Structure 1
């Protein structure tokens, strides 16, 4: 696994100051917002315009990529009949592959960036179940920011998520991940 310059974070209920300190602790230069809808009903400091302004004040470039790497795609073929998002379908879509390619290229250029979603727990977010796993297939381990100066590797997150059973079961079948909720 090659050393990765790609990080992941979720804003959760953090203050903007704590959030930015966490980014600073890993020298993040770019924040890629992977939320399909870049606003927060409960944490308005993370609405797109407010977040972009705060990051610019701190020298961090904000980039919206929720249209390619978001967890709630507009393409309804990415959902099952119950409204759950099918990550195995998304990973074959052109929009997702283009977004993933941007991350791979950024890593090759050693650009320090973080992908951001709203979910604070990486094991409950498409950051790990979809993006992190696709990066891992490309020999890149996503660094999940847990707090200031503290990360967990993609491998650790997946081990926790599957309770140590891995992503392939005893019969050689790959575990398929979906969203926790229906949409």
Structure 2
């Protein structure tokens, strides 16, 4: 992970943080990152520029973080939540399962895992609520498989992924599979169902996500 693998003295751990910059200015987001000991930011937006939150455009926000002692790398080309490949929208809506199987996405996860051994990493996207963002709906399951947990910086507090999952189940609950009816009950059936429903609710549509040239 080019910018995130150089600091030999950084803390290691099995937690990666996330944040959405909506509602922040540069200074308040910097203060939040510092308060939680973040030493590197991985920008996972698809596009480097925002039409609304211009203070967080990659070309200027990356240098701002580096000037303040926090490493920065843009990873939206491999992990962005609005990929520009039409084949990832087979039914008009982004298919996260297809994206998770891409080799470039898997290499992005590997870079995060490697970087987390040397940095306290925070994934940055725009959405304030992690339930509305691919950092929960796509990246969290992949990092869980790699042995990592996500902690979300939300409204001045840390929300563990287990708490985010509980909110997701509360929103998307009902009609959960009967664990005792199956020959081999799946203990993750409830969260899998909630995740599928949340993805259906918020995953981007091709018409909105893909830029027309």
Same fold (TM over 0.5): yes
- Which residue number in structure 2 is paired with residue 122 of structure 1? 130
CA displacement at 1:164 relative to structure 2: 7.3
Note if 1:94 corresponds to 2:117: no
Partner of 2:6: none
Unaligned runs of 5+ in 1: none
Q: CA deviation at 1:139?
A: 2.4
Q: Of the two, which has the highest radius of gyration?
A: 2
Match of 2:121 among 105, 113, 133: 113
CA contact (8 A) 1:6 1:113 kept: yes
- Partner SS for 1:51: helix
In structure 2, the residue corresponding to 1:162 is in which secondary structure?
Answer: helix
- Equivalent residue, structure 2, for 1:139: 147
TM-score by length of 2: 0.76
2:45 to 35, 39, 42: 35
Distance verdict in 2 for CA 1:180–1:74, change over 3 Å: closer
Structure 1 segments, 4+ long, off by >6 Å, are none
Tell me whether 1:49 sits opposite 2:56 in the alignment. Answer: no
Displacement of 1:169 in angstroms is 3.7
Contact 1:5–1:110 (CA under 8 A) maintained in structure 2:
no
Secondary structure at the counterpart of residue 62 of structure 1: strand
Q: CA deviation at 1:158?
A: 1.6
Aligned to 2:162: 155
Contact 2:20 2:130 in 1 (8 A): yes
Distance 1:75 1:169, change over 3 A: farther
- Return the alpha-carbon distance in structure 2 between the equivalents of residues 68 and 181 of structure 1: 16
Structure 2 gaps of 5+ residues are 1-12, 179-185
Q: Deviations over 1:13-43 (max 9, x none)?
A: 2111110011101111111110110211111
Task: Give yes or no for contact 2:18–2:151 (8 Å, CA) kept in 1.
Answer: yes
CA 1:142 to 1:106, structure 2 compared with 1: closer, same or farther past 3 Å? Answer: same
**3-state SS, counterpart of residue 131 of structure 1:** helix
- 1:136-170 CA-to-partner distances (Å, cap 9, x unmatched) read 1222111111144x21111111221121778x941
- Structure 1 CA distance for aligned equivalents of residues 43 and 171 of structure 2: 30
Q: Which has the higher helix share?
A: 2
Give the number of the structure whose residues are more often strand, by fraction: 1
Aligned residues: 177
